[in-house]
A and B are shown apart, each in its own frame.
Chain A
Amino acid sequence: MYSCFTHLIPTNRTATQSSTNKTKYHKLSMVNINGIKPKNGSYYLCLGLEGSANKLGVGIIKQSYNPDFPEKEFTDTEILSNIRNTYISPPGEGFMPRDTARHHRNWIVRLIRESLDECGLKDLSAVDCICFTRGPGMGAPLYSVVVVARALSLLYQVPLVGVNHCIGHIEMGREITHAANPVVLYVSGGNTQVIAYSENRYRIFGETLDIAIGNCLDRFARTLKISNYPSPGYNIEQLAKKSDRSKELVELPYTVKGMDLSMSGILAFVDRLAKDLFKGPKSGNKKLFSKSGEPLVTVEDLCYSLQEHLFSMLVEITERAMAHVGSSQVLIVGGVGCNVRLQEMMGLMCRDRKGMCYSTDERFCIDNGVMIAQAGLLQYRMGDVVQDFKDTVVTQKFRTDEVYVSWRD
């Protein structure tokens, strides 16, 4: 099963780079991303498919082609369609790879159809490239999406681009917020990383040593049997808002290790508190109850306290990375990034450092197809496309710093 469209793609990576005129543009020496002509001669169209976890996203974007003005820093992306369908597991349960993959297989054709209808496209033959998530993520869901990408590519003779999921988040965040060179805090269900760009790679400065922040929140929600709709993290945020602020904060561990952090201990600690709370004053932790058996803390208090502790740690490691690399911009991306409290805390930190904090809303924070299309189209414009179907094999482990970022300098 090997691809037959290699002849379609000019593999002129060196040609693209040599055409970059670095001295001519005084503003910023930028890479020319107009090396490859779009299909219709005036703009690029790109389809992005995302399904690395329980969200299935399909997005179509349009980018203008400016061979005369290559000094543009951002790509003027126009979002033609951004559709997402989430697999929701019952309360108290996480999403299993097999069920998630089945969900993706059931929905993907419908979503692509709907997406094409939204942009008024008849089929995919007008599209310049099809981008899919190569990793990191859960194997089965990734695999079910890439099969569709391969089939579409063969059907319409469109080249494929494999995208790193984290790079997708970063590039989408930069495009939406126009943050030029920020320290990126990438927080989601499977990732907690502090990233900064240097020498053609997004380097990881700080990271979780065990579980990710979203995973920590999700698992706590499971213990509390909170609904997974629309997402466990959102429900925890809403519960936290109802907490009584005049009460003392429930004290939890605070585990920052340099620019890294650890969260498994906090989860175990708060999980035990929650379980003791459910057991009641007879067999649970006595300290949680007053002498008459009234609970002193509520589920809302636990949610609030967990959020305060976790987010303080996140903001602190971000601040450490900012001081270390000497940057004043922060960009928050990833599913947990749409938490308003986290954005507020980050904003306060940036205010004290005379910096700027950028964040996006639910449409772009949570996994979506558009971000895969955005990063993939940048790769395509630099000539980085799949030459052979053996390169489309998806991978569960794919670190952010493995990707060579040719479109920035």
Chain B
Amino acid sequence: MDEIVTGVEHYLTENVPVKLISQGAEALVFETSVHPYNPNKTDETYIIKYRPQKAYRHPQIDKTLTKHRTLGESRCLAKLATMSGINAPQLIACDPYNGYIWQSKIGGLLPNGEFSNLKNYLWFNKNDPYSTINVENVLISVGKQIGILHCNQYVHGDLTSSNIVLEKSGLNNWIPFLIDFGLSSYSTLVEDKGVDLYVLERAILSTHSSFAENYNKWLLKGYESAYNEFYGAKSSELVQVLKKFEEVRLRGRKRSMIG
């Protein structure tokens, strides 16, 4: 761990001071106030996402994966920036061979001091009966984000409540941002979108089990509204995706469990 951080500091040189803010599953996330090529911007903070070499993986697998994912994520972020309606971090710089991505910072703190991702937000609001309407609005707009992404023929690939960050706007309103596009890809296949929805549903079920049913209902409501806006009401695209989603879900349930 510590050697990895030293390695990062060595790579970035002492001109770019960094602070480790979190250790995700595959990447270390650092914070810095330095813009890589615009010396005039000094008042903002940026995120440096670094995918370290994984000791457990065969070096050959590791190298291809790191390059593929960093490059894929950078491309995806660049593409998303050109689409209207999608909230995602802005790409600033990337180095796919070494696994670095430089992007704009999003998210702040919840009233309880936790980082403002959807997971912490839902946990924070779990015991507050008055928050239902806010939670519903947030989840509908999250669903809408995913819907717009799918309408633009992109799939996220790793939708969990940790990978959705909320940015505060106004007193009680939060705007969702999608992050972590390492597993995302361009895909016109209905199958991929169905799997994407299924992965999210399962993540909600396991992490927020007490209210999962409502949460998923709201997410889907937002998702449908995005399709209705993009393709018009009752579009065949939406029907196909939802049918596939049902199919993938059924596939999961039917799985025989022997062993």
Q: Which of A188, A203, A214, A257 contacts B195 (CB 8 A)?
A: A257
Do B257 and A190 touch (CB < 8 A)?
yes
Instruction: Tell me the nearest residue of chain A to B182, going by C-beta.
Output: A256
Inter-chain contacts of B214 with A (CB < 8 A): none
Contact A308-B25, Cβ < 8 Å, known A189-B259, A325-B207, A335-B259:
no
Q: CA A367 – CA B257 in complex, angstroms?
A: 14
The contact string, 1 if C-beta is below 8 Å from chain B, for chain A 186-214, is 00111100001011010111011110101
Interface range for B: 35 or more
Do B259 and A258 touch (CB < 8 A)?
no
Interface range for A: 35 or more
Inter-chain contacts of B158 with A (CB < 8 A): 257-259, 320
- Is A323 located at the chain interface by the 8 A CB criterion? yes
Instruction: Tell me the nearest residue of chain B to A262, going by C-beta.
Output: B195
Do A260 and B199 touch (CB < 8 A)?
yes
Do B199 and A349 touch (CB < 8 A)?
no
- Is A353 located at the chain interface by the 8 A CB criterion? yes
- Is A383 located at the chain interface by the 8 A CB criterion? no
Report whether over half of chain A's contact residues are helix, strand or loop; otherwise say mixed. Answer: mixed
Instruction: Tell me the nearest residue of chain B to A169, going by C-beta.
Output: B259
Do B183 and A257 touch (CB < 8 A)?
yes
Do B55 and A308 touch (CB < 8 A)?
no
Q: CA A141 – CA B4 in complex, angstroms?
A: 50
Q: How far is the CB of A344 from chain B (nearest CB, A)?
A: 8
- Is B21 located at the chain interface by the 8 A CB criterion? no
The contact string, 1 if C-beta is below 8 Å from chain A, for chain B 30-57, is 0000000000000000000000101111
Q: How far is the CB of B253 from chain A (nearest CB, A)?
A: 8
The contact string, 1 if C-beta is below 8 Å from chain B, for chain A 369-409, is 00000000000000000000000000011110100000000
Inter-chain contacts of A191 with B (CB < 8 A): 257-259
Instruction: Tell me the nearest residue of chain B to A308, going by C-beta.
Output: B58
Inter-chain contacts of B60 with A (CB < 8 A): 248-249, 251
Inter-chain contacts of B257 with A (CB < 8 A): 135-137, 165-166, 190-191, 396-399
Query: What would be 6 A-B contacts, judged by CB atoms less than 8 Å apart?
Result: A52-B259, A136-B257, A188-B259, A196-B206, A212-B259, A322-B25
Interface of B toward A, CB cutoff 8 Å: 1, 4, 23-26, 52, 54-58, 60-61, 64-65, 119, 157-160, 162, 183, 195, 199-200, 202-203, 205-207, 209-210, 248, 251-252, 255-259
Interface of A toward B, CB cutoff 8 Å: 52-53, 135-138, 165-166, 188-191, 196, 198-199, 201, 203-205, 207-210, 212, 214, 248-249, 251, 254, 256-260, 308-309, 312, 315-316, 319-320, 322-325, 334-335, 344-346, 348-349, 351-354, 367, 396-399, 401
Closest 6 pairs (CB-CB, A-B): A190-B258, A188-B259, A190-B259, A136-B257, A345-B56, A258-B199
